[in-house]
Chain A
Amino acid sequence: MRRRAVSIFIWLSLLAAGAGVVARAHFAADMTAFLPSRPSAAQQILVDELRDGVVSRVILMAIDGSDPEARAQMSQDLTTRLHANPLFLAVANGRELAVTGQKSFVFEHRYLLSSEVGAALFTVPGLRSAIADTLDIMASSAGLFPEELLLSDPTGETVRIIDQLTPVGGPRYRAGVWSTADGTGALLIAQTRATGSDVDGQEQAIRVIRAEFDTLRGASPPATPRDLDLDLKISGPGVLAVRSRATIEGEAIRLSVLSALLIAALLLLAYRSLRTLLLGFLPVISGALAGTAAVALTFGVVHGVTLAFGVILIAESVDYSIYLLTQVRRGRRTDEFGEWASTIWPTVRLGLLTSLCGFASLLPSGFPGLAQLGLYTMTGLLAAALVTRYVLPDLLPGGWTAQPIAALGTVVERGISHLQRYRQLLWIVPVIAAATLFARWDTLWNSDLAALSPISAGDQLLDARLRSGLGASGMGDLVVIRAPDDQAALRAAESVAVGLEALVRANEIGGFDSPARYLPSLELQRSRQAALPSAVVLQNRLRAAVATLPIQADRLEPFVAAVESARASPLVTRSDLDGTLLAAGVDALLMQREHHAVALLPLRPAAGGPISAAIDAVRVAAALGALPPDVQAMVVNMKHESDAIYAGYQSQAISLSLLGFGAIVLLLLITLRSPIRVARVVTPLMFSVLVVMALLAASGRALTILHLVGLLLIVAVGSNYSLFFETRLANSAAAHRTTVLASLVIANLAAVLGFGVLALSPAPVLAALGMTIAPGAFMALLFSALMAAPQRGERGS
C-alpha cells in the first residue's frame, strides 16, 4: 500500500509540475518550425525575412465579384479605411499616391530624394535640357503637369521620384486600380505593423480587414445589389500562419478527438466498462502533458505542429494500456499484475525502447519542428509506459478482472493459420514494392518546402493567384548587404547600385530595387544639397537656360525659392517617411538587426531574351565593386536557399532515420542475443515500410519528411507486434496466446482507426501521416503474424 501511495503521489506531482510548465509555455504557429536552427549566412537572410521581414508582413487581398467599377470603388474605400488604421504600416491598391498625400511629401523633398540632383543638373545646359523635357511632357500629355508644378519643379524631379516608386512589371490596372492577373478581382496589398511570426497580431489585422470590408459592403450608401456581390479573398504569409494555426487547432484537434472517439468506442467493446476506458486514457494524457512540458523546457517555445502531430504520434501509448487492461486475468489483483509485470511488461518495455531509438533519430535534426516532435514523442511514450506499468495497476479497483477476449484471439489465430499456407507468396510483396520504388525513385521525394505547410491546396492556389497578380514571386535573386549600421548599409547600396546600373545597361539584369531609392544615405543627401546653387547663381543660369524656351525665367521664381530652401533644409530620415509608400519601401529592404544592418537589393531578370534569362550570380557578384572592409555584399537566390534548406532537412532526416533503424537493430541484438531472432522481428517491419512507400509512390504522391515520420511510427508501433509474436506468443500456453493475440488485434484496430481518420484530412500534412501509418500498422501486424507462425508451430510441437 505504501508503494502504491508513493507512485500515485509522484505521478500526480509530476502531472501538476507538467501542467504548470505547459501553462506558461510559449506556443508558436508560424513557419519558423520549418526554418533551420543553425542557418548559413545566406539562409539567415531568408529566416529573418520569413520571421519578421517585410515579406512576412504582407497581406494580399482580392476583391472579387460584381463589376470592375464596383470593385475599384470598394478597393479605394477599403484602402482609405485601412490606411487610417494604426495596425497597418502601408496599404496600396495602385492609387496610393492619391490616397496618402505622399505626392506632397515627395514634392517637398524632391531636391534631396531625386537621383537626378547633382552639379550637372544645375548647369545652364543641364537646366535647359531638363526644362525642355518637362515642356515636352507637358505639351504631349496634355495636362499631366499642372502649371504650378511646372513653375516650382521645371526640371521634373517630382515625376522622376514617383516614377521610381511605381513598380515596373507590377500589377495590371483595371478601372484605375490594381487588378489580379486574370482581371477578375481588384488587388490590394497591406503591410501589417505586426510581424509575420506574431500570429495574434496577424489575426487581429485580418479581422479588421474583414470587418471594414463587411461594413463598407453593407452600409455604403447606396448599398446596391452589385456591392453585395463583392467578395474578399485574403492571403499572405501571416494569413497563412493564422490559417495553419486554425488548421492545427481545428483540424488536427478535431480529427484527434474523432479518432479518440472511434478508439474509445472500440475499447468500450473490448473492456465493457466505462471506468476501465477512462483509466486506459490516463497514460496517453500523462504522456501528452509530459511531452509538451519537456519541449517547452528544452526549446523555450512549442511549435503548433509539435502539439498537433505529437498527440497523434503518442497514440501508440494507448496500446500499452490495451496490453495491460485486456490481458490481466484471474485471481486477486496482486498476483495477476505480478505475472503481467514479469511476462508481458518486458516485451512492452522492449517495444518502448525500440520506439525511443526510432524517434531519437529526430532529435539532432536541424529542423526545429522535427527535433521537437522527436523529444515530445520520446518523453510522451516513456511517461505513458511508466504510468501504465507503475500507476495504472494501482488505480484499478480491487477485484478487477479484464473481460475475456480470448474468443476474438481464437478467431484471429484461425484466420492467420489459414493465411499461413500462402506465406511463401509473401516474399513477392517486397519484390513488387522494391520494383515500384525503383521505377519511381527520381520523383519519390518532394523537394518543396511548401509541402510541409499545414495549408490546404485551395489556400495555396489562392496565394499563388494573388502573387501572380503582383507580378512578383517574392522569391528571387537578391544582393544582400551586411553593414555595421543602417547608414553604412545605405551607402553600400548606393555604391553597389553603380555596378548594377551598368548590368542593366548591358541587359544582364532587367533592373533592381534598393532601399537607397526610397531613403538616400545622409551622405548622398548632403552631397545633393551641396550641389544646389544659391538663388543668385540659379537665377542667372536659368535666364541663360530658358532663353530659347517658351517660358520666362522670372516666372520660375517658385523654383528658385524651392532650391534655396532645400539648401538649408534638414535631411530626410526614416521617421520623416512615416505613412508614405517610401517608408514601406525602406522597411522592406533595410533591416536593423541587433548588431548590424542588412540591405536587400532585389534583382529583376532581363526581359526580351529568347529564354527568360536567369540571373548570373557570378557576374552580378563581380559587378558589385569595392566596399569598405566592415561591409559584406553577396548574391543570394531565395528560392535556391529555401530549397537547399529543405533538401538539407530531408537528406539529414533520411540518414538519421537509417541511423535510428541501425540503433533499433543493435538494441534488439543486445536484448535478444540472436541475429536470427532480430531478423524475425525486423523483417515484417521492413516489409511494411517498403509496401507503404511503394503504395504512396504508386499513387503518385511525393514523400515528405512527415511521411518519413510516419514510417518511423510504423516501425515503433509495429515493433510491439513483431516482438510479441517473436518472444511471447512463441512459447506460451494456447489460452494465454489467444488473449495476447486478441489484445494485439485490438491495439492494431485502434491504430488503423485512429490514423485512418487523419488520412481523410484536407490538410496535406495530416493526410500524409494518416495515409502512411494506417496501412503500415495493419501490414506490420499482418506480416508479423504470417512470418512468426511457423516458428511457433515448430516450438509448439
Chain B
Amino acid sequence: MVAAAAILLGCLLPSQSGAVAGEALDALLMRFRQQQHGHVTFTERYSAAVLDRPLESSGELFYDAPQRLEKRTLQPRRQRLVVENGTLVIEQRLKQYRVALADYPRAAPYIDSIRSTLAGDRQGLERVFRVEFSGSDEDWTLLLTPLDSKVAAEVATIRIQGADDAIRVVTMELTDGGQSVMTLGTATEP
C-alpha cells in the first residue's frame, strides 16, 4: 500500500503548496477513493473517567470499498467487529452482538468518519461533520466536528491525521472526558 501510495503520489499530486484546503481535501479523498482494499495494524487506547487506567488493545483493520470495515482485535482478547450496511456485528468468545449502528449516536459517527474517509466520500463526511483540512499531503489533519446536536452532545471532535494516502492516528474526544486514540501501523501484507 505504501508503494502504491508513493507511485500515486508521484503521478497525481506533486506538492501543491498554493492549493486551497478544499482542493487539497478533494485530492486526498480522490486518492482514498482509488483504494479498494486496505489492511493495517492498529493499537488503541481508550480512557474514560470511570476507568482506573486506559484500556489498550491491538489488532488489524480491514477495509473493502465502499462499505465494509472489519476490526480484528488480537490483544488482550480476541474480538471481531464488522460494520456493513449500517449493521455492527461484534463477536467475542461465544457471544455475538448485532446492533443497528444508527441507534448509537456515539459509535456511529466514529465509524462513519473512518469509513467515509477511506471511501473518499466527501459528501458523506460533510453530511455528518464540519470538516477542516490542514497540513500538507505528507502530513495532513482532518478535524471533524459533528453537526447533529444529538451526536455533538456525546462526541466533541474526531481528528484524523495521516501522511500521503495512509491514516496514521484517529483521535476521538468525547464530551464526558473520554478519549480514544487509535494508531495505525504500516500495512502488513499476508
Contacts and interface: CB of A to CB of B under 8 A. Distances in A.
A144 B174 contact: no
Contacts of A94: 86, 100, 102
A397 interface: no
Contacts of A142: 44, 46, 106-107, 110, 172, 180, 182
A174 B54 CA distance: 34
Interface string A473-514: 000000000000000000000000000000000000000000
A144 B52 contact: no
Contact of A144 (B53, B104, B155, B176): B104
Contacts of B102: 94-95, 98, 173, 176-177
Interface residues of A, number: 38
Contact of B106 (A132, A144, A163): A144
Contact of B52 (A103, A138, A160, A551): A551
B100 A97 contact: yes
A551 B49 CA distance: 10
B172 to A, nearest CB: 6
B57 interface: yes
Given A136-B57, A552-B52, A166 B107 contact: no
Contacts of A137: 79, 90, 92, 97
Nearest to A130: B95
Given A146-B154, A550-B53, A140 B71 contact: yes
Contacts of A136: 55, 57, 73, 76-77, 79, 92
Contacts of B110: 142-143
Contact of B97 (A95, A160, A172, A551): A160
A578 interface: no
Contacts of B88: 141, 144
B100 A550 contact: no
A97 B46 contact: no
B19 interface: no
Interface in B80-105: 81, 85-88, 90, 92-93, 95-104
Given A136-B57, A173-B100, A143 B93 contact: no
B51 interface: yes
A136 B81 CA distance: 11
A717 interface: no
A643 interface: no
A150 B55 CA distance: 14
A95 B100 CA distance: 7
Contacts of A151: 50
A386 interface: no
B70 to A, nearest CB: 12
Contacts of A172: 85-86
Contacts of A144: 88, 90, 99, 104, 106-107
B4 to A, nearest CB: 28
B100 A166 contact: yes
B127 A69 contact: yes
Given A147-B178, A150-B50, A176-B86, A141 B57 contact: no
Contacts of B178: 143, 147
Contacts of A188: none
Contacts of A160: 95, 97
Given A144-B88, A144-B104, A139 B50 contact: no
B48 interface: yes
A135 interface: yes
B50 A555 contact: yes
A330 B92 CA distance: 99
Contacts of B108: 176
Interface string B57-74: 100000000000001010
Contacts of A552: 52
Contact of A173 (B56, B81, B85): B85
A159 interface: yes
Given A173-B87, A555-B50, A141 B81 contact: yes
B44 A139 contact: yes
A626 interface: no
A482 to B, nearest CB: 32
A143 B155 CA distance: 9
B81 A140 contact: yes
A168 interface: yes
Interface residues of B, number: 48
Interface in A88-107: 94-95, 97-98, 103
Contact of B96 (A95, A98, A103, A163): A163
A385 to B, nearest CB: 66
Nearest to A552: B52
B133 to A, nearest CB: 23
B87 A138 contact: no
A168 B106 contact: no
A162 interface: yes
Interface string B142-184: 0000000000001100000000000000001010101010100
A552 B99 CA distance: 28
Contacts of B81: 140-141
Given A137-B97, A140-B57, A150-B50, A97 B106 contact: no
A162 B104 CA distance: 12
B169 to A, nearest CB: 14
Contacts of B107: 141-144
Contacts of A146: 106, 154
Nearest to B78: A136
Contacts of A163: 96-99
B86 A551 contact: no
B146 to A, nearest CB: 12
Nearest to B77: A136
Contact of A97 (B52, B87, B93, B103): B103
Highest count of chain B CB atoms <10 Å: which of A94, A137, A141, A151: A141
A177 B102 CA distance: 8
A133 interface: yes
A140 B53 contact: no
Interface string A150-188: 110000000110110010100011111100000000000
A674 B165 CA distance: 98
A558 to B, nearest CB: 11
Nearest to B95: A133
B92 A133 contact: yes
A166 B99 contact: yes
Nearest to B87: A173
Interface string A547-581: 00011100100000000000000000000000000
Contacts of A98: 102-103
Nearest to A159: B97
A551 B92 contact: no
Contact of A143 (B49, B96, B106): B106
A686 B131 CA distance: 81
A139 B57 contact: yes
Interface string A621-633: 0000000000000
A39 to B, nearest CB: 37
30 contacts: A95-B100, A97-B103, A132-B77, A133-B92, A133-B93, A135-B51, A136-B92, A137-B79, A137-B92, A139-B44, A139-B56, A140-B44, A140-B57, A143-B104, A143-B174, A143-B180, A144-B90, A144-B99, A144-B107, A146-B106, A147-B178, A151-B50, A160-B97, A163-B96, A173-B87, A174-B85, A176-B101, A550-B51, A550-B52, A550-B55
Given A143-B110, A143-B174, 4 more contacts: A133-B93, A140-B57, A144-B99, A147-B176
Interface of B: 44, 46, 48-57, 71, 73, 76-77, 79, 81, 85-88, 90, 92-93, 95-104, 106-108, 110, 127, 154-155, 172, 174, 176, 178, 180, 182
Interface of A: 69, 94-95, 97-98, 103, 132-133, 135-144, 146-147, 150-151, 159-160, 162-163, 166, 168, 172-177, 550-552, 555
